[in-house]
Structure 1
Amino acid sequence: MAKVITVKEAAELFQDNISVGTAGFGLAGWPEEIAIAVGKRFEETGHPRNLTHIHAAGLGNWGLGPKGERGEGVWAQEGLMTRFIGSHAGSSPSVFKMITENKIMAWNLPLGTILQIWHEAGRKAPGILTKTGLGTFIDPRFDGGKLNPLTKEKGEDLVTYIPDFMGEEYLFYKAWPIDIGFMRGTTADENGNITCEKESHNLEMLSVAQAAKANGGIVIVQVETLAKAGSLNPKLVKVPGIYVDYIVVAEDPENIMQTQGTKYNRAFTGEVRVPLQSSMKPIPFDEKKVMVRRVTQEIQPGFKCNFGIGVPTHTGNVMAEEGCANTITMISESGSIGGVPGGGNDFGAHWNIEASCDQGDHFSFFDGGGLDLGVFGLSEVDKDGNVNTSLLNGKIMGVGGFANIAATAKHAVFVGTFTAGGIECKVEDGKMVIVQEGKFKKFVEKCPQLTFNAEQSLKRGNHIIFITERCVITRTMEGMILTEIAPGIDLQTQILDQMGFAPIIPEGGPKLMDPELFQPVWGKLKEQMSQK
């Protein structure tokens, strides 16, 4: 039977030199009250020291919001957390800073693969064999996912290249032991059964708990409410009490966030269904909206679509605004299916969600090639169409679920501005106007790291396209082809001169992007989709 303990008692369970595995996504699922207590204990006593923190998704809020930085950053104290294993550090600025300053060891591995490793660790398997990460910086023939000089010098190898397994090449990711499974639910009964009715995601709670128990570790769960034994609906139990050792009932509701930006929204849990057009704010008419409109022209009725973080998150807004949200199934890497993805700090949550999967099981859908179309941020692209999302202008970010999803999506769409660093654009009189050019080129001769290998994707028969505010580039077996140009854009000075390589230009030049995309009111998507 699980034991109910105080926050202070939970913090004292964190001993020196242990590994902690957390099930979380941004601030969703993050047991913030206990995490704060662990950080405070370290400040007062110097313990626990030398923690290894392992988690799939990023655990932070980018340092934004009324309370400033929240999430994993509370452990970014020298000597407390000394090893980071995760898919994304960018959402935790203080952790990101420690990695960049070479103060802690850090490995960046694909989100979906970390989730799958939890499954394997739960049955005491040595790791997982997968093609995810081949030909990228995660491949040990390059960096092995090691993020800084300290890790490259002293860190162990977590990934092994297998050149020939049954006639094909693979990567093997080693499973790691964890001493504490760390997670948050909504309700626990006296036997330790955990439900998540107020959470926006199911996440990987069960597999993290199983991994901890398989290693002889403990499982600590923060909840909002304690219920009588046997009173919970067994179909709603996400972690059975047989896995749970300790329960902490949170005392401060302010320490419980449903997403990075929302405390609680019933439409994110499926408790209510709301009228989308009046609930979701339309995005303003600017270059981002033009780009996202062009993205939606790649979508066909019946497609299963995933929209990544950043500009891609607004694809659902435009689909809803155009009255086409119900023509496709929208999916997020968090395990959310159906409805419309939330934008910005609500990334991962869905308005009017229809189904919520365990996040680890969800990535089997991606890795199995089930996704019709994925929309991703456009960060840095080389002459071969390879993409770098992990090391930008010397700043370490992370691969997140990108490495899994982009590699297998039948249609991979990358969207973002053509240059970066201070770029200013506006849409005026049906034309795209570049007010100030960005300092950095995004289309470069060679990327410092690869997180998407275009050749590997093309070999699978997938399609690759890059959509910007001023042009569209398609990657085919022939190369990078400049297929479309925006009205008002000069081909030489505003495209070719801003690239580190020369794209292929079709005979007669690129065609004009749809001029109606550049008008304040569009309203043409439903008609266009009906013709596909």
Structure 2
Amino acid sequence: MRINKVVSADEAIARIRPGDVIATTGFVQSCIPESLHAALERRFVETGAPRDLTLIMCAGAGDSKGLGTGRLHHEGLLKRVIAANFGRMPKVAAAAQEDKIQGYNLPQGVISKLYRSCASGSPGLFTKVGLHTYVDPRLGGGKVNSVTKEDLVRLVEVEGKEWLFYKATPINVALIRATSADPNGNLSMEKEALTLDVLAQAMAAHNNGGVVIAQVERLVADGSIKPKDVKVPGILVDCVVVAETPELHRMNYGVMYDPSLAGEVRVTVDNLPTMNLDERKIIARRASFELPPNGVINLGVGAPDGVANVANEEKVTPYLVMTTEAGAVGGVLAGGSSFGSSANAHSILDQNQMFDFYHGGGLDLTCLGMAECDSMGNVNTSKFGGRLNGCGGFIDISQNARAVVFAGTFTAGGLEIAIEDGKLRIVKEGRARKFVNQVEQVTFSGKYAAQKSQPVIYVTERCVFQLTDHGLELIEVAPGIDIERDILPHMAFKPHIHNPIPMNPAIFRDGPMDLLSDLLNQKLGERISYDAERNVLSVDLSAWSVRKKSDITDLQKAISSACEKAGKRVNTLINQDSCRIAEDLYDDYANMVAQLSKAYYARTARYATSALTRQKLQDALRRRGLQTRVYESAKEAAASLEEATAAE
């Protein structure tokens, strides 16, 4: 006998029992089942029930002012919260900070994938995500207060390597959202911006003998949803609730409906407004020089989201694939209330599948914000200034991307700058330091990243730092900025300073930067010259960056071409002063040198003023069997070539 699954929001919420574990969907301000949250709040305010619920959620799902999961702040309603983000439900966060409820702040991707663990009956999830951060049991295990006692995270060793095991929490109720439902409860999501984890959440609750409640915009006739368009099959759905008003089923809190975000239409995006040349654009411009052509990228909120605007302005967007942890692949990433979505997306993945891709190393680059940073390169974005914000997907993304750019202003709170004749001037310093002796909470471990040789830089409006195995090194300084006046007095520690170079002057001038030619190495040939009389090939790599493997390939092609034109083996003089090679690419660079040496070089001399660069280059070359010495100056290097030639 067919059961009518269509009920009111109040009737559906009445099925929630005291002590139940509830999973709800939503990402920032999008895809939130607002009718269901409102009905749960209404029931508790009117009746005092249900009490002592456990709330499990991934990203924040609210407007920070009381909507979404922010509605569940009433004392007694929640007993425990397991979430990646607390910032969008500040009253719930305050209850956790005041020890009124138990709380766990775990990585977003881990929670997302734990839904699948629950659905499949697995006890939990093994992953390296969270090692050496505050989620690691050695640093707190993700507990947010003293009343939270149970260990949900354990450190384990498998085949001699450290892993974290996250315990799965069985789910009793799933509050999900879709666009359409038929009488059997089959759900489709044609007008949603994201699919998130609705299928995994529904399966987790259903397989645990729980209740699945789906909020939809409309009911459709039986059989009108094509099988491949059914996102959640009716066998998993117990209750279908049609949103009481359109406002309770908005695409997000700022947009009623945008068909380009739902993938129903494609829109023209060539004429996006350009950013004003302020500190935010300076940071985004410098970060954009790290973009890997044909690479896959993730951008965080705040200063990093300006990178997408700069990429569009510089016409490099067609050479990149932007993604969001919420599941959007390609297109033009949306901001504001639509953050996490993408106009003209290539595809939309389930959130847990996107984190499979991220956790497995699929990201070529991520650009993320930073609230605090210390001398060892640790970054805090989760708990600072008396606020419990949460990590969101920050840990999942930053630990597993091949390269990381942290971006943010040098100081916070009232910073004012001026750009005059291509130079930066600090008009008013920010009230709060970001570069501190020790971060309040480790959301990113600099030491762990250095051990893995993960390339990491820290971009501000006035300077750039690089992570090394001995901590932060100052590598670039903006024109007009004095290190002793504008940098060191506003840091709680002194970074390593060897031979910093000026930041690219084009960053500080209005107008195009010719970013594309830099990213594609189209002018590499201009760095190479040949003196036929002396048979010396000069390669000027000063201030050039090896950011990705394709840079090495491009350099090898350019040098090979010059050597072919010379028509014989050449003596090579290579300037590597302030040349930055990504930590994980030294061996690839040495392999290129070995191939060129075998094919084209008679003898080679290279130089760099930085002792650290010399040492790293020499070590990498020796691992490849090359005993090349890296000299300290051009004079020494040139002299060594002349002596070797005269000795023959």
Distance apart, 1:337 and its partner CA: 0.2
Identical pairs, percent: 42
Question: Of residues 89, 93, 106 in structure 2, which corresponds to 1:92?
Answer: 89
Between the aligned partners of 1:23 and 1:467, the Cα distance in structure 2 is: 34
TM-score (norm 2): 0.78
**1:4 is aligned with what amino acid?**
V
Does residue 45 (structure 1) correspond to residue 47 (structure 2)? The answer is yes
| 8 Å CA contact 1:218, 1:245 repeated in 2 | yes
* Per-residue Cα deviation, 1:157-177 (whole angstroms, up to 9, x for no partner): 111111x21111111100001
Post-superposition offset of 1:124: 0.9
1:119 aligns with: 116
Residue in 1 that maps onto 2:147:
150
Which one has more relative contact order, counting CA pairs under 8 Å at least 6 apart?
Answer: 1
1:160 matches 2:160: no
For 1:283, what is the secondary structure of its paired residue? coil
Instruction: Report SS of the residue matched to 2:136.
Output: coil
Length, aligned pairs only = 520
Q: 1:239 aligns to what SS in structure 2?
A: coil
Matched, 1:270 2:267: no
1:149, CA displacement in angstroms?
A: 2.5
Equivalent in the alignment of 2:370: 378
Structure 2 residue aligned with 1:32: 34
* Matching residue of 2:98: 101
Please tell me whether the aligned partners of residues 364 and 403 of structure 2 are also in contact (alpha carbons under 8 angstroms): yes
2: CA distance, partners of 1:323 / 1:61: 33
Task: Tell me, in whole angstroms, the C-alpha distance in 2 between the residues paired with 1:413 and 1:319.
Answer: 15
Q: Can you give the 5+ residue segments of structure 1 that lack an aligned partner in the other structure?
A: 64-68
What is the one-letter code of the residue matched to 2:309?
Answer: N
The answer for the alignment partner of 1:525 in structure 2 is 515
Rounded to whole Å, the distance in 1 between the matches of 2:379 and 2:371 is 7
Does residue 328 (structure 1) correspond to residue 330 (structure 2)? The answer is no
Of residues 227, 236, 242 in structure 2, which corresponds to 1:243? 236
Match of 2:504 among 488, 496, 514: 514
Say whether residues 1:173 and 2:142 are aligned partners: no
Structure with greater helix percent? 2
Q: Which one of the candidate residues 282, 285, 298 is aligned to 1:306?
A: 298
Aligned partners of 1:2 and 1:495: how far apart in 2? 67
1:258 to 231, 242, 251: 251
Give the TM-score normalised by the residue count of structure 1.
Answer: 0.95
Conserved in 1, the CA contact under 8 Å of 2:446 and 2:471? no
Q: CA deviation at 1:454?
A: 1.9
Distance in 1 (CA, whole Å) between partners of 2:489 and 2:251 is 45
After superposition, residues 315-394 of structure 1 pair within 5 angstroms as 315-394=307-386
Q: 1:192 aligns with which of 181, 185, 188?
A: 185
Which of 276, 280, 294 lines up with 2:286 in the alignment?
Answer: 294
8 Å Cα contact 1:310-1:344 kept in structure 2: no
Distance of aligned partners of 1:260 and 1:369 in 2 relative to their CA distance in 1, 3 Å threshold: farther
The one-letter amino acid paired with 1:238 is K
Distance 1:31 1:361 in 2: 22
One-letter amino acid matched to 1:288: R
Displacement, 1:260?
4.6
| 1:412 maps onto 2:404 in alignment | yes
Say whether the 8 Å CA contact 1:102–1:149 is kept in structure 2.
yes
| Counterpart residue number, 2:204 | 211
TM-superposed deviation, 1:297? 0.3
Contact kept, 8 Å, 1:2 with 1:245, in 2: the verdict is no
Mark the runs of 5 or more structure 2 residues left unpaired by the alignment. Answer: 522-550, 552-648
Aligned amino acid, residue 342 of structure 2: H
Secondary structure (helix, strand or coil) at the match of 1:5 reads: coil
The CA distance in 2 between the partners of 1:2 and 1:298, in whole Å, is 55
Asked if 1:233 is matched to 2:226, the reply is yes
Work out the CA distance in 1 between the residues paired with 2:9 and 2:475.
Answer: 58
DSSP-derived class of the 2:125 partner: strand
- Partners of 2:13 and 2:211 in 1: CA distance: 13
Is contact 2:32–2:252 with CA below 8 Å preserved after alignment? Answer: no
